Chains A and B, each alone.
Chain A
């Protein structure tokens, strides 16, 4: 009796959360699978079942592969730069310097800003005639490229804004990782006569590797979900120079009203992100097992 009451309370407490997940997370996932097999424009009362036609259509468009390439380039450069610069800055802020907490706060503040407003601000900064970057390049006698209007420069511009906004997150995580490396390891290395360079290579870097792994997976996942900056800064353009998979999904769904092909992109995105998450969970399991 008592036990039954406890089960009931459990169900009541967790029920609303699970119900909402059912309606707005699991069901949409299944429904995406269904949509990816139909031809539908959101308006026609009937959806036509077309088997794999949407998949064939999507995969045979050369622009789809450009978009996949864009997504990969955006992920690799954003994450690579964030991780490298973030590491350097975390090592700097881990030194006993005065005002380092203030610097950390400044570094972190773009993380909590809205991506939309950040992109609005940067669209002015990128202005080729009156923007901040043109100003700075002017100081060394260079002219600004047409950042957002030139297909060759639009992606670097998006990456720059993305790194600027998210750098502080990496720094904070790295700093937590650095503080987690046991002091005794440094002491032991010192006793063994290791210089600062050796200590960095043999103590700091291996000690940071779990944190770096966590950061790289979560950051890659985050780039696959990055929408606001691209939408506001370049709207996926010029042409499709900055269109990534998530932007393409939005575009197919809410601009072209092609529910079927949007479903295909959703499934592709889900598959990629699922693989990344599983890799991460596997790794975490191993870590737990060994430690």
Chain B
């Protein structure tokens, strides 16, 4: 152990000493170029949001706002009912996420710890659901939701997408990897399954649950196709649908306003992402590598 550590250490020193300066420099340069290519569109959005309409349509186009203005933001806010969009997005995202997390925890607990004569069949049914993409169900689901009278309702946006297979498998895996002795000990102490689920399994599997919740949150917040189909009044639209209609109604006239409106969507997501980056990125990577 100590020996191999020593070897690694010497080699690290050796390589860093041997790596030509030029290569390191090229590495940093490539990294900088990548960040610029990815970041430039966002910079362009920000800069346009602070430009006057006159400046946006001036040739040559400017890189920095020559006479920075804040006017685009109130104008965008008033061009569409953004407070309503935010409310709708918050409700459908939190509602959808809560439903998915609850269903995933319940299903995963059942699959991991409970006996059932047809368990294999249940497992296969969930696996099969993974293979049926939401996109191909839109027409029949629209008919179902219309029959239920759920067009333009939160229930209509949330419930058809609430069932969860991927998250169930993710959590089942996490539950199965918990130390079995702890769960067994709780059982010996006389705790029932629901107690064990709430007081033992859920606290111990918290990182996996948080990751799953965050992935679900991002997906719900960005969902476009289904809310587009199931809403047809302005006051029920979510943010992604709202920005789409704002662009369509403002057309090619007022890019500054549209970019300001886009920032209403981009900024909160970026802030949240930077705070919980580790959970999301590691969660996605873990899901992929474990297969």
B133 touches A225 (CB 8 A): yes
Residues B265 and A117 in contact, CB atoms below 8 Å apart: yes
Chain B positions within 8 Å of A92 at CB level: 27, 30-31, 34
A130 and B291 contact, CB distance less than 8 A: no
Check A20/B163 contact, CB under 8 A, given A117-B262, A249-B138: yes
Contact with A35, one of B30, B60, B115, B139 (Cβ below 8 angstroms): B139
On whether the beta carbons of A32 and B140 are closer than 8 Å, the reply is yes
B132 touching A26 by the CB < 8 A rule?
yes
A116 touches B244 (CB 8 A): yes
Number of A-B contacts (CB under 8 A): 279
Within 8 A of A (CB), among B266-291: 266, 269-270, 273-274, 277, 280-281, 284-286, 288-289, 291
Chain B min CB distance to A37 (Å): 14
Q: Is B98 an interface residue (CB 8 A)?
A: no
- Contacts known (A89-B34, A120-B247, A254-B229); A214 close to B139, Cβ less than 8 A: no
State whether the Cβ of B222 lies closer than 8 Å to any Cβ in chain A. yes
Given the known inter-chain contacts A17-B103, A122-B41, A173-B288, please indicate yes or no for A231 contacting B244, CB distance below 8 A.
yes
A114 and B126 contact, Cβ closer than 8 Å, known pairs A25-B132, A228-B224? no
Query: Of B67-75, B180-188, B203-211, B252-260, which binds chain A?
Result: B252-260
A20-B162, A31-B140, A104-B281 known; A130 vs B61 contact (CB < 8 Å): yes
Q: Which residues of B contact A72 (CB under 8 A)?
A: none
Q: CB-defined interface of A171-192 with B at 8 Å, one 1/0 digit per residue? A: 0110111001001000000000
Residues of A173-227 whose CB lies within 8 A of B:
173, 175-177, 180, 183, 210-211, 214-215, 218, 221, 224-225, 227
Residue-wise interface mask of A (21-58) relative to B, using a CB-CB cutoff of 8 A (1 in contact, 0 not): 10111111101100100000010000000000000000
Residue of A nearest to B32 (CB): A103
Interface residues on A, range: 35 or more
User: Interface stretch among A61-69, A76-84, A150-158, A266-274?
Assistant: A266-274
Give the residues in chain B near A95, CB-CB below 8 Å: 27
| A169 to B283 alpha-carbon distance, docked (Å) | 12
CB pair B269–A103 under 8 Å, yes or no, is no
Interface of B is mostly: helix
Interface size on B, residues (CB 8 A): 98
Check B35–A175 contact: CB distance below 8 A.
Answer: no
Expressed in whole angstroms, the Cα–Cα distance for A9 and B270 within the complex equals 41
Secondary structure dominating the interface of A: helix
A117-B258 contact, Cβ under 8 Å, with A3-B115, A164-B38: no
| B50 interface residue (CB < 8 Å to A) | no
A108 to B281, CA, bound (A): 8
The answer for the CA separation of A135 and B56 in the assembled complex, in Å, is: 12
Tell me the residues in window 81-138 of chain B with beta carbons closer than 8 Å to chain A beta carbons.
103-104, 106-107, 109-111, 114-117, 119, 122, 125-126, 128-138
Known: A100-B31, A114-B265. A13 touches B106 (CB 8 A): yes
Q: Which residues of A contact B161 (CB under 8 A)?
A: 24
Q: Which residues of B contact A11 (CB under 8 A)?
A: 116
Residue from B34, B130, B266 in contact with A103 in the complex, judged by beta carbons closer than 8 Å: B34
Which residues in A have their C-beta under 8 angstroms from that of B195? none
Across the interface, B115 reaches (CB within 8 A) one of A10, A270, A288, namely A10
**Does B45 count as interface, using CB distance less than 8 angstroms?**
yes
Q: Are A25 and B31 in contact (CB under 8 A)?
A: no
Would you give the shortest CB distance from A257 to chain B, in whole angstroms?
Answer: 10
- B117 partner residues in chain A, CB cutoff 8 A: 7
Q: Is residue B57 within 8 Å, beta carbon to beta carbon, of the partner chain? A: yes
A95-B27, A120-B262 known; A17 vs B164 contact (CB < 8 Å): yes
Q: Are A246 and B229 in contact (CB under 8 A)?
A: no
The CA-CA distance from A177 to B288 in the complex, in Å, is 9
Apart from A24-B160, A26-B129, A177-B288, what 12 extra A-B contacts exist at CB < 8 Å?
A24-B163, A25-B129, A32-B136, A93-B31, A109-B270, A110-B38, A114-B243, A125-B44, A218-B288, A254-B142, A259-B139, A266-B139
Q: 14 A-B Cβ contacts within 8 A?
A: A18-B163, A25-B129, A92-B30, A113-B222, A113-B269, A114-B222, A117-B240, A121-B259, A122-B41, A129-B59, A172-B281, A177-B288, A246-B135, A250-B138
Task: Give 4 nearest A-B pairs by CB, closest first.
Answer: A28-B140, A176-B285, A20-B163, A28-B137
